[in-house]
Amino acid sequence: MIIDWKDLSPELFLEQYWQKKPLLIKGAFANFIDPVAPDELAGLAMEDMIESRIVQHRDNKWHVDHGPFDDFESYGDNQWTLLVQAVNHWFEDVDSLISPFRFIPNWRIDDVMVSFSTPGGGVGAHVDQYDVFIIQGSGKRQWRVGKPDSTLQTLVPHPDLKQVSAFESCIDVTTEAGDLLYIPPHHPHDGIAIDNAMNYSVGFQAPNPQELIGGLADYMLDEDIYAKRIDDSQRLATSQPELFSDRDLQLLKQQMQNVLDNDDVMENFLGQLLTSVHHALDVGLPEQPISIEEIPDIIEQIIEDDGALEPVLGFKTLLIEQRKLFINGERFTIYEDTLDLALALANKQHLNSELLKSALSNLKNLELLTRVINIGLWQLA
């Protein structure tokens, strides 16, 4: 899939629109066909491990039900929306919707949420804290998008639904199949289906300071690092024991700064944090963990059958200067003689027989393959 940027480009988009103002591109995807059918989406929403909800607006009241669902007929023919998170973890064609946005780093990607709406369906006017590209699938939807406005009131018509008061729109448009709408954080928006409509929301999110600091504290506890107490050997006598001095403040701040200045610790923590996924993956763990001694025979059999190891959908990878590779929250050290395989893993490539053959003669490559197979992220195609 390729975006028809019209008179823009990825570079101009980032410069002029990214986290600055909304953008509508009519016909961004020519001849767009839904990568998942409404009944397939409904089937996914019946599964326990899938995060899904139905938002209904009827008789001026909002209702929210959470999946798994076993019945949809009771909701009627209009004024409700089914929303399913991380559909890209389960359908390859939905996962491919991310590819046009690869000019933004992998670590910023959240997931692809898919919604099916009946006429009049929507979730109400609201504000999100993340960037989202919304691709219109089948059907039509009326979208209104406004500018950030601190005077908007927060409304809670249902405990599981946060909305905002009426806003002035800077975009008011009917979207059709293949249209692309970008909405930055903090911009109020409201989309109402005109007829049965499918929408694909490619979300981009970054951790906030609470998540960063809280996550770092958890990481240090898990790794048992920086447990030593502060060095207070230069303490001077005080006549005001109740006083917390500027020197004391700087002393404690420096202890925290020492952690932040440790690039190795920060790389390991952030690599783990930024590649951890929050929704279920379709992993296939071996019945018994595979040992390093067994892996050569397994690889040779794959080569003999002209097979491949295929990555599952939805997990995240992160590469730090060809030194460290993070996959789904796990750290892998990269060596000069494992670089080719590590780059293939970082790009979530299908590991074909040619690549596997080149990995056979290197013990570190075999260790790498053993780990990714044992955690279920690459499986026999």
Bridge partners (DSSP) of residue 164 are 154
For residue 53, the surrounding DSSP H or E stretch is: strand 52-58
Instruction: From residue 378, give the alpha-carbon distance in Å to each of 219, 358, 374.
Output: 26, 17, 9
Phi, psi angles (nearest 5°) of residue 132: -145, 135
Q: What is the DSSP letter of 153?
A: P
On whether the CB atoms of residues 337 and 364 are closer than 8 A, the answer is yes
Q: Which residues contact 41 (CB under 8 A, 6 or more apart)?
A: 82, 84, 87, 114, 116, 198
- Joined together, the tokens standing for residue 264 give 């190795």
What is the per-residue burial (b if ≥16 Cβ within 10 Å, else e) of 88-111? bbbbeebbebbebbeebebbebbb
Going by their DSSP bridges, the two strands 308-311 and 378-380 should be labelled as antiparallel
Listed as ranges, residues in the chain with pLDDT below 50 are none
Residue 144 CA: distances (Å) to CA of 24, 185, 193, 241, 324: 11, 15, 12, 60, 44
Q: Which H or E element spans position 161?
A: strand 161-164
Superfamily of domain 10-204 in CATH is Cupin (2.60.120.650)
Dump pLDDT digits (tens) for 134-187: 999 999 999 999 999 999 999 999 999 999 999 999 999 999 999 999 999 999
Determine the Cα–Cα distance for residues 180 and 196; give it in Å rounded to an integer: 18
Q: Where are the domains of the chain?
A: 10-204, 209-229+243-262, 295-380
Q: Contact, 284 vs 235, CB < 8 A?
A: no
Q: In degrees rounded to 5, what are phi and psi of residue 320? A: -110, 100
| Distance, C-alpha 135 to centroid of its chain | 16
CATH of the domain spanning 295-380, picked from 3.40.50.20, 3.10.180.10, 2.60.40.420, 3.40.366.30: 3.40.366.30
- The residue whose two tokens read 């109020």 is 188
Q: How far is CA 352 from CA 92, 142, 370, 380, in A?
A: 18, 45, 16, 10
Tell me what pLDDT residue 91 has. 98
Percent of the chain's residues with pLDDT above 90: 91
Pairing of strands 131-136, 141-146: unpaired
Contact predicate 143/172, CB 8 Å: yes
For the whole model, what pTM was predicted?
0.92
3-state secondary structure 291-335: CCCCHHHHHHHHHHCCCEEEECCCCCEEEECCCEEEECCEEEECC
The encoded tokens of residue 177 equal 């199949």
